[in-house]
Amino acid sequence: MVGPDEHVICALSGGVDSTVAATLVHKAIGDRLHCVFVDNGLLRYKERERVMSTFESDLHLPVTCVDASEQFLSKLKGIKDPEQKRKIIGREFIAVFDDFAHELEQIIGKRPEYLVQGTLYPDVIESCPPPGSGRTHSHTIKSHHNVGGLPKDMKLKLIEPLKLLFKDEVRKLGSILNVPDSFLKRHPFPGPGLAVRVLGDVTEGNALEVLRQVDEIFVQAIKDAGLYDIIWQAFAVFLPVQTVGVQGDQRTHSNAVALRAITSEDGMTADWYYFQHEFLVDVVNKICNNVRGINRVCQDITSKPPATVEWE
């Protein structure tokens, strides 16, 4: 597709899919690949620092980090509808990639024509429009920002080498390409990031900061208990409700969070993970004692279907 002298941009998220896609394309076209990691203000705790150091030390991929957090969060201010949030994020990502392509053009004297994305088959299935729209696929369950959230007037042409593969197949491919295990075993993380884990307006109060802290405590506890590789995905969700509590003889009126952990083979169906009672007690105590503004922790015990993995 690319030809002998075209240049390509790759959107790296730090997850398995984009990392494997980038490694594959890098093997094919070498230094004509230019990777970009976007900090959209919706990343997990210390994600940017952790991911950038791994790219440099383990993968030796050429990666530029773009801080676009202000750009994304200002566009998301006041937006509560999940589909709208996903579409806005898709648009902003493409705007960042277009700017990056323009800057590269100044340096290499040629505008990159292509954008590599780590889109997988489940993303394609869940983003397809309903029957009767001239397409013959499933209902649009949710727009994946790199499938259904892309603007019509996009200047870059897409390369999606993994779009007919499931996650377990991508992990196998990654291991053939010698991508480090630490990367291949990472839990999936949604493209729109924490925007789909803060229900409602992501910019309200300090919801993002609180969620980062809760999520870090939960995931670290799973790692410490030796459960990380057994679980397909584990994360916290910030709920837009306040509940009454009592902490240190004081009445509190604070936020609630939900914890979700699932097991799955391919992400298309999933079961909730059954934690030992002692584990949950320990995690809940850590969260309520260490994170200001949280006085209630719930556990999501719904499989997929009827629920999707993410709450939005």
Tokens 């390369």, residue?
159
- Answer yes or no: is 57 a known binding residue: no
- Answer yes or no: is 67 a known binding residue: no
Cis peptide before 306 (omega within 30 of 0): yes
Instruction: Identify the CA nearest to 180 among candidates 66, 12, 14, 34.
Output: 14
Tokens 């994946």, residue?
144
- Answer yes or no: is 18 a known binding residue: yes
Entry field: residues in the chain: 312
CA triplet 244, 247, 249: central angle to 5 degrees?
Answer: 105
What are the C-alpha distances in Å from 280 to residues 20, 136, 236?
A: 34, 44, 13
Query: Alpha carbon 243 to chain centroid distance?
Result: 28
Nearest-angstrom CA–CA distance, 134 and 233: 34
- Answer yes or no: is 25 a known binding residue: no
Q: Is there a contact between 187 and 47 (Cβ–Cβ < 8 Å)?
A: no
Tokens matching residue 299: 């556990």
Nearest-angstrom CA–CA distance, 117 and 252: 45
- Answer yes or no: is 14 a known binding residue: yes
- Answer yes or no: is 19 a known binding residue: yes
Question: Any long-range contacts for 184-188 (C-beta under 8 Å, 24+ apart)?
Answer: 184/16, 184/20, 185/228, 185/229, 186/14, 186/15, 186/16, 187/219, 187/228, 187/231, 187/232, 187/233, 187/234, 187/235, 188/15, 188/16, 188/17, 188/232, 188/233, 188/267, 188/309
- Answer yes or no: is 149 a known binding residue: no
Q: What residues form the annotated binding site for ATP?
A: 13-19
Q: What residues form the annotated binding site?
A: 13-19
